[in-house]
Amino acid sequence: MKGMGSIYRRGGTWWAKYYVRGRCIRKSTGCTERRDALRFLRQRQAEIAQGRQAVPDPGRVTFEDLCELLLNDYRVNARKSLVRAQASIKRLQTQFRGQKALDITPDRMQAYIAARLRSGAKPATIQKERAALVRMFTLAVASGRLALRPTFPTIEVRNVRSGFFEEPELRRVVANLPGHVVPVVLFAYFTGWRKSEVLGLRWHQIDFAAGTVRLEPGTTKNDEGRMFPFGEFPQLNELLVRQRVATDALQRASGRIVPHVFHRRGGPIRGFRRAWVAACRRAGVVRLFHDLRRTAVRNLERQGVPRSWAMRLTGHKTEAVYRRYAIVSERDLREAVQRLAAGMGTILGTIGREAEAKMGWMTGFEPATTGATVQCSTS
């Protein structure tokens, strides 16, 4: 068995030593007889030759190995949530750093979830951390590092938000924002686009002649391209024209090119969370920037825009947003009640006097017509 592998005794049990892609594997055969151990070794060698060698030494796989598998997967596939994955790993390290993968059991994960909840972490955040750990084990099984993936406990997430901006609230917030943030907020209010999509806009995506602004495929959350025609939207058109004029003036004064539509003295806007929180506090409202997106969807619904059109404008792939936020226009509710009433016919007018008496209704009841007042006799 020289070269490819060998067997040897350790106590009363035979062990096998063999190689997988140049890596030495030492594994107990679980056999006490030499011939059985040889049979075990030949079977493993056959599996290696056929390319279906299973689990090489799962006991050596560590939490750090799992993290590396996850990060490599994100980098190879250019996933946009790499930063989120890194944040999840950082939190998971507080509990599982240096541990063997086989020691990360469902009960250990349940204890981790309980500890995170006690520390004040939100369920949605903990769920993302759990999902990262599950993905690690899935990749380890797929790569042959582990035999199976544990069934980790889940955590119920109830984080459906329903905040909307009314126009007076928006005006107060805008009045307290820095000047370079105001056009960002107004653009998001008009279009319903995500903050990352708005801040990433560059001038080559704006076509003033055609009156359109475009997001290229691969730059959005769902990787689909999008177009918003602003030529038919006077308020949005004016916002972009003013931003273009201000940018041109800055370029002439500074002598440098400003590629971003929304910028801070020519540089890209990385974020403005602190300014946003301060403006909302001074305005006396509690709102998220993402509430602008929900508000835009509601505004489209109120104006009777078909949902398929609205979804194309805002970039929603499914109607889940309408179900989650119960976005239904007042017009739809009134029309629904009118249809319900039409289906009732004249049922009240056909109820007999005997039935009225049994139900305790007062005599003299006259069914009301639309806009009329119900008259009841008191005598």
Q: pLDDT of 116-140, one tens digit each? A: 999 998 888 999 999 999 999 999 8
Q: Would you say residue 2 has pLDDT above 70?
A: no
What's the whole-number mean pLDDT along residues 260-284? 94
Question: What per-residue confidence (pLDDT) applies to 369?
Answer: 47
Q: With a threshold of 0.75, does the pTM exceed it? A: no
The structure tokens listed for 102 are: 């086989």
Instruction: Give the least confident one: 38-52, 276-290, 333-347.
Output: 333-347
Q: Per-residue pLDDT tens for 186-214?
A: 999 999 999 999 999 999 999 999 999 99
Q: What is the pLDDT of residue 206?
A: 94
Lowest mean pLDDT among 97-106, 145-154, 260-269, 275-284: 145-154
Between these two residues, 56 and 95, which has the higher pLDDT value? Answer: 95
Q: Residues 45, 6: contact at Cβ < 8 Å?
A: no
The more confident residue out of 349 and 21 is 21
Average pLDDT over residues 247-259: 94
Nearest-angstrom CA–CA distance, 147 and 58 = 8
Q: Which two tokens stand for residue 374?
A: 């119900």
CA distance 280 to 285: 5
- In angstroms and rounded to an integer, the radius of gyration of the C-alpha atoms of the chain is 33
Q: What are phi and psi of 220, to 5 degrees?
A: -105, 170
Q: What contacts 371, CB < 8 A, 6 or more positions away?
A: none
What is the separation of C-alpha 17 from the centre of its chain, rounded to a whole number of angstroms? 47
Mean pLDDT of the chain: 82
Q: What is the pLDDT of residue 249?
A: 94
Distance between CA 223 and CA 225 in Å, rounded?
7
Take residue 82 and report the two structure tokens written for it.
């790499």
Which amino acid is located at 224 in the chain?
A: E
Confidence of residue 53 (pLDDT cuts 50, 70, 90): low
10 Å CB burial of residue 240 (0-12, 13-18, 19+) is buried
SS3 14: strand
pLDDT above 80: residue 180: yes
* Greater pLDDT, 350 or 145: 145
Q: Which of 56, 129, 125 is nearest to 93 (CA)?
A: 129
User: Topology of domain 167-317, per CATH?
Assistant: hpI Integrase; Chain A (1.10.443)
Task: Specify the pLDDT at position 338.
Answer: 78
pLDDT digits (tens, 9 = 90+) for 306-361: 888 888 888 877 777 666 665 665 666 677 777 777 766 555 555 555 555 655 55
Is a pLDDT exceeding 60 seen at residue 3?
no
* Domain boundaries 63-142, corresponding CATH code: 1.10.150
Residue of 130, 133, 138 whose CA lies nearest to 155 = 130
Between CA 70 and CA 68 the distance in angstroms is 5
**Residue 39 near residue 14 (C-beta atoms within 8 A):** no
Per domain, the residue ranges of the chain are 5-53, 63-142, 167-317
pLDDT confidence bin for 1, thresholds 50/70/90: very low
Q: Give the chain's count of helices (H) and strands (E).
A: 15, 8
- Mean pLDDT in residue range 84-94: 93
How confident is the model at residue 220, as a pLDDT? 64
